[in-house]
Amino acid sequence: MARVYISTVISAPADRVWSVIRDFNALPDWTPFVADSRIEEGLPSDKIGCVRAFRLTDGGFIRERLLALSDYDYSFSYAILESPMGVDNYVSTLKLIPITDGDKTFAEWSAEFECAPGREDELVEHIGRNVFLGGLMSLKSKMGG
C-alpha cells in the first residue's frame, strides 16, 4: 500500500479555510488543475456518498465519492472511483487543524492506494507534488498567505 502525506501552514483561521474547501464540488475554485466539476445525480455536495465528477485542465477525467465530512474536525475523506492514474483502493483525507498562535491553519492532505508494481514511487511523487502540494499552495495563495 502506497502512502502520500503533504502538509503546510496557511496564514488564515481554520474556519475561513474550511469555508473554501468544505464544498466537495469546489475544486475549480481553489486548485489550479481542475477545469470543471459537478456532483452527480443533483445531490448536495456535503451528502456522504455523493460523487463528484471533474475534468482536469489537461483533459483527464476523475470521479470521487465523499466518504466522510466533519465540520467539527475540519476534515473530509474521499475515494477515487475512476481515474487515469492507475490507482486502486485510493482513499484520501484533507484535514485542517487550527493553530491558535497567530490564528493560522495547519493543513494536511494524505492518501493510501494500491497500484501496479513499479509505479508506486512515480505515483507517490506525482500525487504528492502535483496534486496535494499544488492544491495546498494554491489554497494558501487564495487565502492570502
Per-residue confidence (pLDDT) for residue 144, from 0 to 100: 80
pLDDT digits (tens, 9 = 90+) for 79-110: 999 999 999 999 999 999 999 999 999 999 99
β strands within 21-103, DSSP E: 34-39, 51-56, 61-70, 75-82, 87-99
Per-residue confidence (pLDDT) for residue 145, from 0 to 100: 60
Reported pTM: 0.95
Number of structural domains (the chain) is 1
Where in the sequence is the domain holding 132, given as residue range(s)? 2-142
C-alpha cell at 117: 508494481
End-to-end CA distance of the chain: 34
pLDDT digits (tens, 9 = 90+) for 52-65: 999 999 999 999 99
Look up the CATH number of the domain holding residue 19. Answer: 3.30.530.20
Paired residues of 65 in beta bridges: 51, 79
